[in-house]
């Protein structure tokens, strides 16, 4: 049974999805005059993870696709029929559908030549909505959210950091990070976290002069004679670069787990044992890299909500709001970036250590297993700081 507050949130979320879709489909093609790019890439993609970090898995209540599915089930059951999934989810797929969905989104954002084009966003929203709703219809709402809906899976993992969580329909308080205790054996989780981490690292590196010069050299010969080919080559290069960063993140973790296993002579793989230690690092990268974007660019959502289609409307009376671009000093941004990376990696190491103590009965084995994990955390920290400094 849905509570009144959640029903209100779901109605608002569906209305916002409709508004953003309408803006992307029929609004001004200038991304700075259209609500869709700011809402998707700033308010949603950065705001929801940060909100999840503080309040827990809020996406379950905010997801417009879950809201539509809940509404459909409610109407179906009101007619006296039982709502049941059409098929049983193949467990061998694990979370790989969610990995594909998340990878497709970050590829659109970071590799496509014109990610802020409202019409491109309209198509992306339509495709994602179709897949999300079809997945819930086919396999059930909870099953698809836990395995197939990329945003729901990622935001759910981040929400396990928060001091609040829902249990038996009630809001509970717990120590931060305790929700990440335990083992994570579901297939595809490492790939999902690698996409989340690697894409942020690539986003930082792609802004460096080194990468921009490379793209210019690739596109240069085709700018005049065949710009379409040049654009395709740039997109392919960016996609390869992003994929490379994702693979480096995943291989570094696998290598650390392999070394840890050799150190203690463990009889089985340690990959699932320490996997949840990557979650604090994933959100740390988001905060470090996108904090300033959320605070500064997020202000533009206020006037854009009054004029979502760029038609000189003032629906909410906020069209004249002028964002304060100087709200953050460079020093403040740098301190937040460094602080987020340090706290995230320390938390990740603490979670890995806690798991090692639970897995290994001998104190010496638990300690030796963490040498490789410590090296991994240092590698991730140095990599994150290097990309931030280069950007």
pLDDT tens sequence across 217-229: 988 887 777 788 8
**Cα pseudo-dihedral 114, 116, 122, 124, rounded to 10:** 70
Residues 130, 321: Cα–Cα separation, whole Å? 35
Residue 158's pLDDT band (boundaries 50, 70, 90)? very high
Residues 135, 148: Cα–Cα separation, whole Å? 7
Strand extents, DSSP E, 151-246: 164-167, 170-173
- Identify the pLDDT of residue 77: 86
- Identify the pLDDT of residue 245: 95
Residue 2's pLDDT band (boundaries 50, 70, 90)? low
Nearest to 280 by CA among 342, 214, 217: 342
- Identify the pLDDT of residue 326: 86
Sign, CA torsion 120/122/125/130? negative
For the segment 224-251, the average pLDDT, to the nearest whole number, is 91
Residues 143, 156: Cα–Cα separation, whole Å? 13
Nearest to 356 by CA among 249, 285, 260: 260
Residues 130, 385: Cα–Cα separation, whole Å? 38
Say whether pLDDT at 374 is over 50: yes
For the segment 321-346, the average pLDDT, to the nearest whole number, is 89
Residues 222, 229: Cα–Cα separation, whole Å? 7
167, β-bridge pairs: 170
Q: What is the largest CA-CA distance in the chain?
A: 69
DSSP letters spanning 186-206:
-TTHHHHHHHHHHHHHHHHHT
Residue 230's pLDDT band (boundaries 50, 70, 90)? confident
**Contact (CB, 8 A) for 200 and 286:** yes
Two tokens, residue 69: 């599915």
- Identify the pLDDT of residue 126: 96
For the segment 318-331, the average pLDDT, to the nearest whole number, is 88
Q: Whole-model pTM?
A: 0.93
Q: Which three-class secondary structure string do you get for 296-318? A: HHHHHHHHHHHCCCCCCCCCCCC
Two tokens, residue 5: 């507050």
Residues 327, 309: Cα–Cα separation, whole Å? 27
For the segment 338-343, the average pLDDT, to the nearest whole number, is 89
Residues 67, 78: Cα–Cα separation, whole Å? 16
172, β-bridge pairs: 165
- Identify the pLDDT of residue 1: 47
Nearest to 52 by CA among 249, 108, 60: 60
CB atoms within 10 A of CB 42: 20
């Amino acid at each position: 049974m849905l509570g009144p507050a959640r029903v209100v949130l779901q109605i608002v979320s569906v209305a916002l999805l409709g508004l953003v879709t309408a803006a992307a489909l029929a609004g001004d093609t200038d991304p700075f005059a259209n609500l869709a790019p700011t809402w998707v890439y700033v308010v949603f993609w950065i705001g929801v993870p940060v909100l999840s970090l503080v309040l827990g898995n809020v996406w379950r209540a905010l997801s417009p696709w879950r809201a539509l599915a809940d509404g459909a089930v409610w109407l179906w059951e009101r007619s006296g029929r039982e709502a049941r999934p059409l098929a049983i989810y193949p467990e061998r797929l694990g979370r790989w559908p969610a990995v594909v969905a998340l990878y497709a989104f970050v590829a659109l954002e970071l590799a496509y030549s014109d990610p802020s084009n409202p019409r491109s966003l309209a198509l992306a929203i339509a495709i994602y909505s179709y897949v999300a709703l079809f997945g819930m219809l086919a396999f059930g709402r909870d099953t698809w959210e836990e395995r197939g809906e990329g945003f729901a899976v990622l935001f759910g993992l981040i929400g396990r950091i928060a001091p609040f969580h829902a249990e038996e329909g009630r809001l509970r308080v717990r120590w931060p990070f305790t929700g990440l205790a335990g083992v994570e054996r579901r297939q595809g989780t490492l790939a999902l976290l690698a996409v989340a981490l690697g894409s942020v690292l690539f986003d930082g590196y792609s802004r460096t002069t080194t990468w921009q010069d490379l793209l210019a050299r690739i596109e240069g010969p085709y700018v005049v004679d065949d710009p379409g080919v040049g654009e395709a080559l740039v997109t392919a290069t960016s996609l390869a670069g992003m994929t490379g960063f994702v693979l480096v993140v995943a291989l570094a973790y696998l290598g650390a787990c392999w070394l840890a296993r050799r150190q203690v002579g463990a009889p089985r793989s340690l990959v699932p044992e320490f996997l949840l230690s990557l979650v604090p690092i994933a959100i740390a990268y988001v905060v470090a890299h996108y904090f300033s974007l959320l605070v500064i660019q997020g202000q533009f959502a206020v006037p854009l909500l009054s004029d979502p289609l760029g038609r000189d409307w003032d629906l909410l009376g906020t069209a004249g709001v002028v964002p304060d671009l100087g709200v953050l000093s460079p020093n403040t941004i740098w301190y937040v970036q460094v602080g987020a990376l340090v706290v995230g990696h320390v938390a990740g190491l603490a979670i890995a250590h806690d798991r090692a103590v639970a897995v290994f009965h001998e104190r010496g084995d638990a300690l030796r297993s963490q040498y490789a994990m410590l090296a991994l955390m240092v590698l991730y920290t140095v990599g994150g700081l290097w990309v931030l400094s280069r950007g």
